[in-house]
Structure 1
Amino acid sequence: MKNVAIYANKINQLKNPIYGFNGIDSIDMNDVPIFCGLVETKDIQFDKNSLQNQFKVLVKKTAFSCNYRDKAIIFEATIKSPEDSFFVVGSDFVGEVVDIGSEVIGLKIGDRVIANNAYPESGVPGVIAGIPSNSESKEYQVFHQVKLMKIPRQIPDEVAAAFSIGAQTSYSIVRKLNPTKGANILVTAAKSNTSLFVINALKKYDVNIYATTTSKLFEDELKALGVKEVILVDSKANSLLENQSIQKIAAKTGGFNCVFDPFFDLYLEQVVQLMAIGGKYITCGIYDQYCELINQPFTPSSSNLNRVISYVMTNNLEIIGNCIGLTEDLQNAIQDYISGDLKVIIDSVFTGNQIGAFFERTYNAKDRFGKVVYKYD
């Protein structure tokens, strides 16, 4: 079976005969050389009559994609893995059921499925909640049935392969924000995949969406998604508080009623000072997931906890954390996609031996807009 893999940085040539290679690509990420490629390993042996597989499902992947979380995993595999080894990566996928255990219900051979990352509970005692695996590019993989969600044929592979985490997370976020009619909502880091999902998930609500970005390259595209105003900010400390455009909006509206901030360590301390009394701030991620690992400095802009909490208390703000979402959030996102109320932005699709190009586009391309997908031939 095929796997998209990251090799240890001391890779020479794997000599284990169970592995087959289709070339090794090299790219730079944050000035760190990354070696990657397509690896073929032995096929999975799945005994559907085995007691341990009674609730399990064998899936053949047709496409997958990576997320920001994979970047830290890639660096970890590159720097810390033993010499002459590799790690298979991937967070989102779409595949087809090729075999099922004796007690599986609701799924049959031939069904198309994506991951159900339900959190904080999976729905079955003893089955870990959250993302099923850090190695979703494995062409064949076995999952507990509760970790899969059947999808209709109307969702094409390139969309389905980029769907689960972004959709489940964004619908959980919007559910928790529970925006009222006319609410003024700020979305930071608008070009990040999660922010794009949130912007799209907000489209069916009668709200005013404002978005910050460090590049106006996709201003027209963001406005077409329903953003009322795209605000260009600098990549520096106090970039929001010193920005005249965002200050004028906050003064005119009385502050933002809701803020979605994908990386709290970039903007939390600033945005709480731009919010309306009783507003909701929600975040789902950390930007600094790998800087120490690759010996590159990072100074969080949200460093003064006393100042943050003072604003929160005096303005009756809500600070909400979000980790993925519920099964119902994913189901609602699928239904909205089918009905035309949710759009998923796909930047590009790669296949074959385009492994280096896939990772280059995913993590290095400044003109990337939306998800990058790899499809198996």
Structure 2
Amino acid sequence: MKNVSICGSKLQHSMPFPNIIQAMQIEGVNVFCGLIHTEDPEFDGNAPENIWKILVKKRAFSCNYRDKNLILKTAVNAPEDRFYTVGSDFVGQVVALGAEVTEFQVGDRVIGNNSYPDSGVVGLLPGVSTNSASKEYQSFHQAKLLKIPREMSDESAAAFGIGGQTAYSMIRKLEIKPGANILVTAAKSNTSLFVINALKHHNVNLYATSTSLRFEQELKDIGVKQLIQVNHEDNDWLTTSKDMGQVYHEIGGFNYIIDPFFDLHIGKVISLFVPRAGGKYITCGLYDQYSEFTGKDFQYHGLPFNQILATMMLNNIHLIGNCLGTTEDLQQAIQDCANGQFPVVVDSLFKGDQIREFFERTYNAKDRFGKVIYSYN
């Protein structure tokens, strides 16, 4: 079995299999990554612990922003003679079934079902299916998987689960009205790219922010009306960004704001809503997930907390938190993707011994646009 892994610096000397281990840096932290070979797992579908489980052979996987925390934590704290698999999105093929599994067949292609806050099964934890998507073989409870149609490519499917489920959940919760003005922050982030593509077929005016205009045309091609350049170190985008100020005065403010990094943006965007109109702000994550491992303190910029709450109160703004989505959200996203209505932005594909190249492109490449995929095929 192959395992794309974060490795200890002395792992090569303690493994019985030939492995590829390479060194790199992420956020200034030394990271060893590698392709580690281990024995294929055994799977007895009649064993009591496996009767509801499915053994999956991965075809491809990808990493998300959340994986960066786990990678850096492993690089800083893990023993030098161990390795840890990573990744939270994947596409795989069913190779064995538990005795009680009836809704899947050997040969089905599947992705993870990250249903939250309810897994659908009593006693089965909700949320992300795995933190080890890079294991070539892995078993899952059947409720943690969904079949995908043949119209979805492996590349799209390997990037899909968390982004698709999250985007459709947030849009459902917002109850967006036709003709609305929507702002999506961090336009080049993977979550925002999923949201932008999901909004393409809604009758809305879509604006987005980014620290550069490098991918302005690409973002316009997928539905952004205007990309607004901003500076994260500013405390107030309304007065410091000429383009933001112009857009705000032209449209009278935003009705909805979708933000994947609340600690980076909320203090700057909360004043951008239509005054006293009851806009909705929704967020699904935070930016500062790894500063404890890099030694670089995160610096907040924006309105202080009491002013954020006062602005929300005086303008009747709804603050909505979102974690992943329901099974139904993911099913709808899969259907729309298969029908060509919800494309996935894929940046690049790596294979074989291109382990360092995969991680470099995922986390260090300034010109990355979309998800980076590693394929076992």
- Common topology (TM > 0.5): yes
**Partner residue in 1 for 2:62:** 65
Question: Whole-Å Cα distance in 2 between the matches of residues 278 and 264 of structure 1?
Answer: 19
Amino acid at match of 1:234: N
2:261 is aligned, of 260, 263, 278, to: 263
Instruction: Name the structure 1 match of 2:331.
Output: 331
Matched residue type, 1:273: S
Q: Which residue of 2 aligns with 1:279?
A: 279
CA contact (8 A) 1:115 1:132 kept: yes
Kindly state the Cα deviation for residue 336 of structure 1 after the two structures are TM-superposed.
0.8
Q: Which amino acid aligns with 2:157?
A: A
Any idea what the Cα deviations from partners look like across 1:97-124, whole Å, max 9, x if unmatched? 0000111121010100000000001000
Within the alignment, does 1:174 sit opposite 2:171 as a pair? yes
- Unmatched runs of 5 consecutive residues or more in structure 2: none
Cα distance change of structure 1 residues 348 and 167 upon mapping to structure 2, 3 Å threshold: same
Partners of 1:194 and 1:359 in 2: CA distance: 18
The answer for unaligned runs of 5 or more in structure 1 is: none
Equivalent-residue separation in structure 1 for 2:204 and 2:312 (angstroms): 23
CA shift, 1:275, in A, is 0.7
Larger mean CA deviation between 233-242 and 357-366 belongs to: 233-242
State the secondary structure of the residue aligned to 1:330: helix
Residue correspondence of structure 1 range 107-256 to structure 2 within 5 A: 107-238=104-235, 240-241=237-238, 242-256=240-254
The CA deviation at 1:302 is 4.7
Q: Which amino acid aligns with 2:265?
A: Y
Distance 1:11 1:77 in 2: 14
Question: Could you tell me how far 1:14 is from its partner in structure 2?
Answer: 3.9
Q: Which residue of 2 aligns with 1:312?
A: 312
Give the corresponding residue for 2:34. 37
Q: Secondary structure at the match of 1:301?
A: coil
Determine the C-alpha separation between the residues in 1 that align with 2:40 and 2:138: 10
For 2:215 and 2:15, the matched residues in 1 are separated by 46
Name the CA distance, whole Å, in 2 between partners of 1:184 and 1:191: 19
Q: Does 1:296 align with 2:296?
A: yes
- The answer as to whether partners of 1:116 and 1:330 remain within 8 angstroms in 2 is yes
Q: In structure 2, what residue type is equivalent to 1:179?
A: I
| Distance 1:54-1:271 versus aligned 2 partners, 3 A rule | same
AA aligned opposite 1:344: V
> Which residue is 2:10 aligned to?
11
Q: Do 2:257 and 2:280's aligned partners in 1 also have CA atoms closer than 8 Å?
A: yes
* C-alpha distance in structure 2 between counterparts of 1:60 and 1:115, whole Å: 13
Query: How far 1:303 moved relative to its partner?
Result: 6.3
Q: CA deviation at 1:12?
A: 5.3
Percent sequence identity over matched residues?
Answer: 55
CA contact (8 A) 1:114 1:148 kept: yes
Amino acid at match of 1:296: K
Distance 1:80 1:23 in 2: 21
RMSD: 1.1
Aligned to 1:76: 73
Assess if the C-alpha contact under 8 Å between 1:265 and 1:302 holds in 2.
no
- The offset of 1:292, in angstroms, is 1.7
Select between 245-254 and 267-276 the one with higher mean Cα deviation: 245-254
| 8 Å contact kept, 1:122–1:146 | yes
Kindly provide the CA deviation profile for residues 318-366 of structure 1, in whole angstroms up to 9, marking residues without a partner as x.
Answer: 0100000000000000111122211100000000000000000000111
Q: 3-state DSSP class of the match of 2:12?
A: coil
Distance 1:354 1:178 in 2: 43
Matching residue of 1:92: 89
Question: What TM-score results when the alignment is normalised by the length of structure 1?
Answer: 0.97
Contact 2:179–2:203 (CA<8 Å) still a contact in 1?
yes
Q: Is the 8 A contact 1:115 1:148 kept in 2?
A: yes
Amino acid at match of 1:299: Q
2:282–2:319 contact (8 Å) kept in structure 1: yes
The one-letter amino acid paired with 1:266 is L
Shift of 1:21: 3.6
3-state SS, counterpart of residue 282 of structure 2: strand
